[in-house]
Amino acid sequence: MGIYDDGYTPGFTAADLGKYAKLLAVLFLLAAAYYAMGQVNEALKPQPLEIRLEKEKIKPSETLLLNVKVTNTTGKDASEVVLLVKARDEKSINITPLTSKIIKSLPANEWRQLDFLVNPIGSISPGGYTITVETILSDQKFAKSAVVTVEG
């Protein structure tokens, strides 16, 4: 015995189902657009740390320029911002600051760029070497990393 055995009909016609399907499709598209706008907004927001390598691959005898952009995204002014830049394998990669590693004052929503020179030490093995950048802005810690490939 089923629910339709007594002559029950749900009250929907095929045309009604088409209307509801279109309404659901429109709601789904609106939700997808809202989500996409949020993702684009996040992608366009300034990041606290941005790393730019002059080039990604170097030979053991070459050096490269590393630019680090520090943006104060905390909403509060920061002072004495120290930037720690190091290679995971410090015996193979040397990093020398070309500018001061300390930012005396960094107001909210402002940024500064610091430059570093990256060079392999001696005749190192080919491969990828990770460089990490860390800082603390208004009691919030931020970190970013990049990989430099040394060719053989």
What is the Cα–Cα distance from 32 to 105, expressed in whole angstroms? 41
| Mean pLDDT calculated for residue range 21-42 | 84
pLDDT of residue 81: 92
Task: Return the percentage of the chain with pLDDT > 70, whole number.
Answer: 91
**So what's the architecture of 49-150 in CATH?**
Sandwich (2.60)
Report whether pLDDT(1) > 60.
no
pLDDT of residue 17: 74
Report whether pLDDT(24) > 80.
yes
Q: Structural domain boundaries of the chain?
A: 10-45, 49-150
Give the contacts of 150 (CB within 8 A, at least 6 positions apart): 57, 58, 59, 60, 120, 124, 125, 126, 127, 128, 129
Supply the pTM of this predicted model.
0.70
Better-scored residue on pLDDT, 83 or 15: 83
